[in-house]
């Protein structure tokens, strides 16, 4: 006789009468809809104002039904709006952020994987102390590192450069990437490593053949965490760069002082959405893997 699948999906609202279940679900879904509206309303207002004529915004305010919509303000924000004496829009600063965030994310993730692997599977005397010192950076306020970084960047000639920001974010991110990867690799059975070592595999071969194939969840978590944090970072970009070398988050401040005395709210709104798009796209694409990676040990 064929086996009958008796598995029933757990439903926390399945207890009680039908009327009670319907009422509970209605309340929960109603609250979820309200919270969604609360969080998405600023984005919707910003998006709408990025396509409204400036005269319309000045006359009726930010929250009103638009008389017309146009994408020309996005084009202006990207390529022709004047910031700090140059009329290149945010395209240059957007590229600066890409040139800063992508290398810093890749390098800090790779180094975090190697650190986590060494500290969890090739333990040595003082490994716990070293791990504690590395993760101390998680709790260290960024403001405390400004003076040391100013000295370092000045000494090696990387002041006011994108390369200097890449160096800062790589080092600053090592605490998080090492913490994530080390805790994740603790869940990998030690017997796998011992068996590989008996077969003659060394540190790097085990890393390539065993550790990396088991690491996609934590790599996705680390990449999303690092990229969004580096892209949205404001303090280091403002303090250590100026002019055409600023990332987009720092350059957005210049929008409020374009020199003409007139606030182009529609162009500013378009520029703000542009600056927020890369982290949003990455999170939308890898969001489910991010949650899965967290539940598989990233924050144990």
Overall number of domains in the chain: 1
Provide the pLDDT for residue 80.
82
**Within a domain: residue 215?**
yes
In a domain, 185, yes or no: yes
Q: What's the angle, vertex CA 299, arms to CA 298 and CA 300, rounded to 5?
A: 100
Domain that holds residue 268: 90-297
Q: What is the DSSP letter of 2?
A: P
Burial per residue of 98-117, b for 16 or more beta-carbon CB atoms within 10 angstroms, e otherwise: eebbebbbebbbebbbbbbb
Residue corresponding to tokens 């590192």: 145
Q: In the predicted model, is pLDDT for residue 5 greater than 70?
A: no
Closest CA to 269 of 34, 11, 62, 86: 62
Burial of 259 (0-12, 13-18, 19+ CB in 10 A): exposed
DSSP 3-state of 86: strand
pLDDT 10s digits, 105-131 = 999 999 999 999 999 988 888 888 999
Q: Is residue 189 part of a domain?
A: yes
C-beta of residue 142 within 8 angstroms of C-beta of residue 165? no
Give the residue from 238, 241, 239 showing the smallest Cα distance to 147. 239
Listed in sequence order, the DSSP H helices in the chain are: 18-49, 54-60, 72-79, 91-121, 127-135, 146-156, 162-185, 190-198, 203-206, 216-232, 235-240, 248-251, 265-293
* pLDDT tens digits for range 136-159: 888 888 888 999 999 999 999 998
Residue 217 has pLDDT above 90, yes or no: no
Residue 42 lies in a domain: no
Residue 21 structure tokens: 């279940």
- Interval 26-43: pLDDT, tens: 999 999 999 999 999 998
Q: Is 166 part of a structural domain of the chain? A: yes
- Does a structural domain hold residue 53? no
> What CATH number is associated with residue 287?
1.10.3720.10
Q: Is residue 74 part of a domain?
A: no
The pTM assigned to this predicted structure is 0.82
Asked, for residue 67, whether it belongs to a domain, the answer is no
């Amino acid at each position: 006789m064929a086996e009958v699948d008796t598995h029933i999906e757990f439903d926390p609202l399945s207890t009680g009468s039908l009327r009670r279940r319907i009422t509970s679900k209605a309340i929960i879904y109603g609250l979820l809809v309200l919270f969604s509206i609360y969080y998405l309303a600023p984005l919707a207002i910003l998006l709408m104002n990025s396509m409204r004529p400036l005269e319309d915004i000045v006359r009726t305010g930010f929250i009103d039904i638009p008389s017309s919509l146009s994408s020309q303000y996005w084009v202006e924000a990207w390529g022709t709006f004047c910031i700090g004496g140059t009329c290149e829009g945010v395209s240059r600063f957007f590229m600066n952020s890409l040139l800063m965030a992508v290398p810093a994310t890749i390098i800090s993730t790779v180094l975090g994987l190697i650190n986590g692997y060494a500290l969890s599977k090739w333990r040595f005397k003082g490994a716990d102390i070293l791990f504690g010192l590395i993760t101390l950076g998680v709790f260290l306020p960024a403001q405390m590192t400004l003076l040391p970084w100013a000295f370092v960047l000045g000494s090696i000639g990387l002041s006011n450069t994108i390369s200097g920001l890449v160096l800062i974010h790589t080092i600053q991110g090592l605490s998080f990437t090492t913490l994530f990867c080390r805790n994740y690799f603790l869940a990998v059975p030690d017997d796998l490593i011992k068996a590989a070592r008996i077969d003659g595999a060394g540190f790097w071969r085990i890393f390539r053949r065993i550790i990396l194939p088991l690491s996609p969840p934590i790599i996705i978590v680390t990449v999303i965490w690092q990229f969004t944090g580096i892209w949205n970072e404001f303090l280091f970009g403002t303090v250590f760069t100026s002019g055409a070398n600023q990332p987009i988050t720092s350059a957005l401040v210049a929008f409020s002082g374009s020199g003409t005395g007139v606030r182009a709210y529609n162009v500013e709104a378009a520029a703000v959405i542009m600056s927020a798009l890369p982290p949003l796209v990455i999170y939308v694409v890898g969001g489910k893997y991010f949650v899965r990676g967290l539940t598989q040990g990233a924050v144990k």
